[in-house]
Amino acid sequence: MNDIDLSPEFYVEFSRGGGSDSGSIYRVTWHKDGARFSAPVARFFITDPRIPAEGVFPHKRLDCFVIDKGRVPKPERLAGILFEALKKHGAIDEPAWLQWYVAEERGGKPHGNVLDFE
C-alpha cells in the first residue's frame, strides 16, 4: 500500500497489484487543539478495458467515486488532482479516460459473522 498526498487537505491510500489498482481518498481536517481527523471522501479504480471497443485506442481508465459531496463539492476537480498525482507516481499514464461519479450509500448488511462488538 502506498500513501500519496494530493494536497494539504487530501491524501490517498493506494493499493496496486493483480491487474486492479484501487484506493481511497481522505480529507484531512485539523481541530482547534491541533488534532488531525481524516474522513474517507472517495474511492477510485484504475483498470484496463478487457475488450477494446472498435474505434478506441488501448488506454487506462480511472474511475473516481465521490462518497461525501459535502466535503468534496467539486468532484471533477478532485478527480483531476488524483489523475495528476497518480501520473506523477507512475500509476497511470496517457492515454487514459478519467470519469468521476457522485455515489450515495443506499444500505448494506452483513453476510455471515462480520461484526464483533464485544
Using only C-alpha atoms, what is the Rg of the chain? 16
Q: Does residue 113 form part of some domain?
A: no
Number of separate domains in the chain: 1
19 within a domain of the structure (yes/no): yes
Lowest mean pLDDT segment, chosen from 20-24, 33-37, 54-58, 108-112: 54-58
Is 24 exposed, middle or buried, given 0-12, 13-18 or 19+ CB atoms closer than 10 A? Answer: middle
Is the model's pLDDT at 118 over the cut of 80? no
Q: What is the pLDDT of residues 84-97, one digit of tens each?
A: 999 999 999 999 99
Using the structure block, give the residue that is written with the C-alpha cell 488531525. Answer: 36
**Residue type (1 letter), 24:** S
Assess if residue 118 is contained within a domain: no
Residue 109 belongs to a domain: no
How many residues in the chain?
118
State how far the alpha carbon of 77 is from the alpha carbons of 17, 37, 65, 97, 100, in Å.
26, 22, 12, 15, 10
In a domain, 108, yes or no: no
- pLDDT (0 to 100) of residue 20: 76
H or E segment at 35? none
The string of pLDDT tens digits covering residues 103-115 is: 988 899 989 988 8
Q: Which amino acid is at 82?
A: L
Q: Which domain holds residue 65?
A: 2-102
Residues of the chain with pLDDT > 90, as a percent, come to: 61
Residue 111 covered by a domain: no
The three-class DSSP label of residue 38 is strand
* Assigned domain for 73 exists: yes
For the ranges 4-8, 10-14, 33-37, 54-58, which has the lowest average pLDDT? Answer: 54-58
Neighbour tally for 92: CB within 10 Å: 20
Q: Would 76 be classed as within a structural domain?
A: yes
